[in-house]
Amino acid sequence: MQVYLVGGAVRDHLLGHPYHEKDYVVVGATPEQLLAEGYQPVGKDFPVFLHPKTKEEYALARTERKSGVGYHGFQFFTDTTVKLEEDLIRRDLTINAMAMDDDGTVYDPYGGQQDLDQKILRHVSDAFTEDPLRVLRVARFAARYASYGFKIADETLELMQKIAKSGELDALTPERVWKETSRALLEDHADVYFQTLKACDALKILFPEIDSLFGVPQRPEYHPEIDCGIHTLMALKQACLAKYALDVRFAVLVHDLGKALTPVDELPRHIMHEERGIKPVTDLCDRLKVPTHLKSLALIVCKEHLKCHQVKNLKPGTLWRLLQRLDVLRRPEKVEAFVQACECDAKGRLGLEQRPYPQAQYMLDAMQIVRNIRAQDLPEHVTGPEIGEMLIQYRIEALAKFKELHNN
């Protein structure tokens, strides 16, 4: 029985990239042997075991054969005769098809180290096309390693296009698409993930609402980059640079979906695009089963982001009602996330990436002002329903004073 560290841990070890998860492949062993040594079985489709102490995953070396549609459509074969090279050839990319033994010796039968040195994402074999999930995985790797200068090999991109045209992407479950996408959104170059899906014709299949933005013009005086799709990815890039959380990044990604629905005779203006965006944002979230709190922020950013840009001109009562819709009293963190997303929208424009966005601090100061006014601040004679009404009055008056001071 021989045990090897495989996959991402070997790749990132050689690259000097941080990693936490370790996966192992076991050659020349049977399930009975691992069970006898205290390993716990967890695999449903093929034998995978948890180490009795470290709880890391150990999989028996296996081969696979395509037997159906989608990434579940495989039959696996495990046996003590399966060699390490046979196990590694079924993997997606050469940089993921390396193994390392306890002595630190690297086994690289398919040129992974060379591709690592040359910064190339290349498929291991033509079996790459048998698993549609690999389109998303390669796009995610492209986003993860963009800062290192990695590029997808032309022939691999062609295979990704072949998968997209085959119809196999339709076999991916919403949960799996969202899992890969949410992981990609947390990378430093999440925009590259969507650029890659666009380049291989997968974006229009998996994210038609986002794909529809490309080619739609905007007014150049507000958007020098003009193209709505380009603006969306530029705004997402701002969210990544700022290290914002997943909910903010997703909200930025979908904030302008309504612009794809602007009537042609109204272009390049996008009147009412905020309201038009509600349905495509809802459709995308429901289709991919996006978590509720992400959907909630995405919808309010879609609907209200222009008000944040114009916040200094809002009447005190209008600003109070905006803060109310953001649940300012119970969830100040939602207001903060909203402001972050709006700032990314403002800065995600060609040549305006460094432009100050004072609206952010204005919104946050307004939030603190209304939160600092509480029932105990009211006159003692105020009771019952009058309390709520007077709190609103006090808060609007405080916002009016704040606006006056700010404008002087």
Q: What is the 3-state secondary structure (H, E, C) of 229-244?
A: HHHHHHHHHHHHHCCC
Would you say 176 is a known binding-site residue? no
Would you say 325 is a known binding-site residue? no
Note the pLDDT of residue 72: 54
Q: Taking a C-beta distance cutoff of 8 angstroms, is the pair 160, 135 a contact?
A: yes
Would you say 11 is a known binding-site residue? yes
Burial 18-48 (b: 16+ CB within 10 A, else e): eeeebbbbbbbbeeeebeeeebeeebeeebb
Closest to 95 (Cα-Cα) out of 5, 184, 192, 7: 7
3-state secondary structure of 305: helix
Q: Which of the 8 DSSP states describes residue 361?
A: H
Note the pLDDT of residue 140: 97
**Residue given tokens 């939160």 in the structure block:** 371
Would you say 21 is a known binding-site residue? yes
**Burial (CB count <10 Å: 0-12, 13-18, 19+), residue 310:** exposed
Note the pLDDT of residue 352: 95
Note the pLDDT of residue 386: 77
Would you say 221 is a known binding-site residue? no
Would you say 8 is a known binding-site residue? yes
CA-to-CA separations, 30 to 35, 61, 64, 88, 304, in angstroms, rounded: 9, 10, 17, 18, 59
pLDDT in tens, the chain (408 residues): 899 999 899 999 999 988 888 999 999 999 899 999 999 998 666 689 999 999 999 999 988 776 555 555 557 778 898 999 999 998 999 999 999 999 999 999 999 999 999 999 999 998 899 899 999 999 999 999 999 999 999 999 999 999 999 999 999 999 999 999 999 999 999 999 999 999 999 999 999 999 999 999 999 999 999 999 999 999 999 999 999 999 999 999 999 999 999 999 999 999 999 999 999 999 999 999 999 999 999 999 999 999 999 999 999 999 999 999 999 999 999 999 999 999 999 999 999 999 999 999 999 999 999 999 887 776 766 666 777 788 889 899 999 999 999 877
Note the pLDDT of residue 144: 95
Closest to 45 (Cα-Cα) out of 30, 24, 59: 59
What count of residues does the chain have? 408
CA torsion sign for 106, 112, 117, 121 is: negative
Q: Which of the 8 DSSP states describes residue 39?
A: P
For residue 292 the two structure tokens come to: 């509720």
Note the pLDDT of residue 45: 64
Which domains does the chain possess? Answer: 1-118 (3.30.460.10)
Closest to 237 (Cα-Cα) out of 154, 301, 147: 147
DSSP-assigned letters across all residues of 150-201: -EE-HHHHHHHHHHHHHTGGGGS-HHHHHHHHHHHHTSTTHHHHHHHHHHTT
